Structure formats: structure tokens, C-alpha cells
Amino acid sequence: MKQINFIILAIIGLGLRLWLVPHWVDAGKSDDGAQFEQYAVNLVQHGVYSDDATANPVPNARRVPHYPLFLASVYKWAGCGNWRVVQIAQSVLDLITCWLVYRTARELFRDRLVGYWSYGTALIATPLVAMTGYVLPETLATLWTTLAVFCALKACRDNRNVWFVGLGITCAAAALTRPALIALPVFILPAFFLTPEGKRFFTAKRAALIVGCALLLFLPWVTRNMVSLHQFRVLAACRATTQDQAAAGYHRWLSTWTDSQAYNRPLISAVVGQGSGYKPDQLPPVEKFPDHAFDSDKERETVKGLLRQVYVQMKLTPAIDAEFAKLADEKIGRHPVRHYVLLPVFRMLMLWAEPMGQWFVKAPARVVRYAQLINLAIVAFGFGGLWVIRRHWRDAAPLVLAMAGCTVAGALGCFCAAYVDPRTVVPVYPQMCIFASACAFHLTRAQSPLKTSTEIYEPDYDRW
């Protein structure tokens, strides 16, 4: 494939994100998006990092700063609330991510064809395409994560400090964009001990270099929190809104059974959202809870009574929330293995099994079906690619471990957020695209594309 074809694919991918995606998504539908936007507006208009929608916002740290700062920089130039320019900027960032996918695949497999297939797959990957249309941090987090994985892969093969500096900076930037990615270096760094070159290149000085670069990026945020809030806070609060903070007990009860986003998000909004859209005399939606949410009829009746109180008082009071917390503690005490082992494993599967087409809320049904099929095909081929490289997986360890880290973080995050959020694994979808292309290569060539680390390493200076 010539460079002109590479550019043509980029133009097609950019056109998909700029002309079709804005008609398929509802940028203002996400509650998280409204909070990020409020942070950006306050930064532009008041110079205060806060999500308070008041004339005199009070500083807080409910969200990490990188994405609000990105939004504020866009709004400073294009005007507050200009979602269209945000979508354009995020589309450009996503194209850079797709190019990094190509470079990572070329570096890993030493095959130009696998690189082009990975690039094309990333251009049409449903989560990556959909997230460019929303005011959400996933596109920026995916860029930082992909760059971190690329730096880790290069550092395992190329004995230069620049890759270790890049790894420290990008891991910190990813965590300051999406807090769950703080676990990224914990999973990536063991990759250095899985190959002979990695063991030789990774020294104590290199480890200090990674940590030092990461700390430099965290320093302004930590300093701001100590000066403005008088708190030592490295990331953001576990619960990002005051409503979630006031509903800790209800979230804890949800975490004892939630395993999919299909139904738990509406249930959270209905109760934590203070009964928005419901009348006080309307019965609580107990029927909307799945059967596996309850261990017994007694628990069902107890929850029904608590929800009735919520809708009578039109809010989740501290006393009602405490009853939910008590119910959760009893449930966990009866079934600890299910709560701490079986549910997290099932959630890991659901994070990848979610069709993701639901993000195209304004698209025709046919488009949603195609988007879901593309997503499921990439995931199926991606796991097939992991099977293809199983004998030499150590050489692809940075990619494999990054995917494992985000999956585990997403599954365990339900203990805090009380719902399964497929957005947790969006930052590592580029790696899934690479493995999907490796599987396709294997099916067409009947051989694994992965070169082992025992071969002579030759730096790839190809321009593209």
C-alpha cells in the first residue's frame, strides 16, 4: 500500500467522524459530559477549577484536570458550548491514535500489511468512532494510553532514554485524564522482565526516570489541591458528583449484583437522580430490577419498601441510604465468593461483550446494528489474535498487559461506581484492533505474524 492510500484512508476516517458521527450521537446526553463542560466554562469565565453552576464557583477536585483543560483551551478559542469544534479536535486526536496503532503494529510484527490492517480497523472501531462525538475524556485517554503502550514496546527493544521518559509522561497523562488508568504502569512495567532485552534495558536509573517524569506531571495538580483545598489529593474523588456521594449505600447494594450496563444505569438515575420524571404517588420501579438482584423474596420486599420511601420523599435520604448499605453488608457476608470473585470475572467478560452501538442514539437502526456487528467482530478477532500469538506473547507483553489492566480496573471499579461501564476499556481498544488484524493475517497466511525477541532487532526508520 502506498502512502497515498494511507492518506486516503485517513481522509475517509476523518469524514466519518466529522460528517456522520455528529448526526448519530447526542453530545449533550451524557451527564458526565455536562460536568466536564461546566469545569471548562468555569475555567474560561472565572479561572476557577470547579463544576459549580453558580456566579461564584467554589474550587473542588471531583474530576482530574486534563480533559477539562483540553475543553477549556477549545472553548477559549471557539467559545463556550461549541461542541462542534470539540468534535473536530477529538476527531483529529483520534486519527493520531490510529496512526499510533499503525506504528505499534509495525513495531511489534515487523510486517507492513498487519500495520495497515490495524490502522484500517482502528478507523472503523465503533467505540473509537463514537467517543469522538461526545464531550467525554475517552478520546484523549485513548491517545495517551496508546502512546504509553508504544513507548513501552519501544523501550523493551530500543536502549534509549527517550522511550522511558515518554512512558512516564504518558502514563501520568493518562491517569490525569481518566483516574482508572493509574493502574496502567502497574500492569505495563512487568513487561520489561518478560524478554531478555527488557531485563537488560530496565535498570534502577530507568525506573527512577519513569517515576520522576510521572511525578513532574502530577506536581501541578497536587500542589493546586494542597493550596486551594488544603488536601493532599493525587487523583479525583471516587464518586464524581454530590448525588453519588450521598448515595454510597445504594451504590454498594447495586455492586452486589450488577454485571451489565444494559439496565443498571437507568436504575441509578431513577433513584439517585431524586426521582426526576416520576410522580410521588407512582410505584417504585421494582419490576425493572432483574431477578438475580435479589437473593430472596424478603430482600425484594425490603428493597421495594425502601424505594417506596424514596419516591414518597422524592429523594434518597441518609437514613434510607444507610438501610441500603446494611442490606449490602448482609448480602456480601452471605456470599463473599460471589461478590469478590465470580462477579468481577463476569464483569470482565461483559466489558468486552457490550455491543457499544448504544452510543449512536440518533442513528438509524440499521447503522446501530452494523456498528454492533463491527464491534463484536473486532473483539472476536482480537481474542483470536491473542490465541494466534500465544506461544510468543511475551514479545507483545506491553499490549497484552495494558488490556488486562484496564479490564481488571473496569471490573473492580464496580465496587466504587456500582455499574459496569464499557468506557473503561475504550482506551485499550487500539490494542484489540492490532490483535484482530493479527488474527486476520493468520487466517489469510496460515502463520503467526509475530517475530520473536530472539531475532536480531533492527530499528524501524520507515517514515510511515
DSSP state of 257: T
Kindly state the cell numbers that stand for 428. Answer: 485499550
Burial class (CB in 10 A: 0-12, 13-18, 19+), 287: exposed
Cβ atoms of 64 and 221 closer than 8 Å: yes
Q: Is residue 121 part of a domain?
A: yes
Q: Is residue 148 part of a domain?
A: yes
User: Domain containing 362: what range?
Assistant: 3-238+349-445
User: Which among 263, 278, 259 has a CA at the least distance from the CA of 316?
Assistant: 278
Cβ atoms of 8 and 123 closer than 8 Å: no
Q: Is residue 117 part of a domain?
A: yes
Query: What pLDDT shows up at residue 453?
Result: 38
Cα 143 to the center of its chain, rounded Å: 11
Per-residue pLDDT tens over the stretch 290-345: 788 888 888 888 988 888 888 777 777 888 889 988 999 999 999 899 888 888 88
User: Which among 145, 155, 139, 121 has a CA at the least distance from the CA of 432?
Assistant: 121
Cβ atoms of 371 and 363 closer than 8 Å: yes
Query: What pLDDT shows up at residue 463?
Result: 34
Ranges of residues in the chain with a pLDDT under 70 are: 1-2, 31, 237-246, 261-288, 355, 357, 413-419, 446-464
Q: Is residue 338 part of a domain?
A: no
In whole angstroms, give the CA distance from residue 95 to residue 123: 8
Q: For 209, what's the count of Cα atoms within 13 Å in the CB-facing half-sphere? A: 15
- In three-state secondary structure terms, 389 is coil
User: Which among 429, 464, 437 has a CA at the least distance from the CA of 146?
Assistant: 429
User: Looking at the 3D structure of the chain, how many domains does it have?
Assistant: 1
In whole angstroms, give the CA distance from residue 279 to residue 285: 12
Q: Is residue 7 part of a domain?
A: yes
Global confidence as pTM: 0.88
Q: Is residue 435 part of a domain?
A: yes
Query: What pLDDT shows up at residue 283?
Result: 44
Q: Is residue 340 part of a domain?
A: no
Cβ atoms of 36 and 241 closer than 8 Å: no
Report CA Rg, the chain. 23
Q: Is residue 299 part of a domain?
A: no
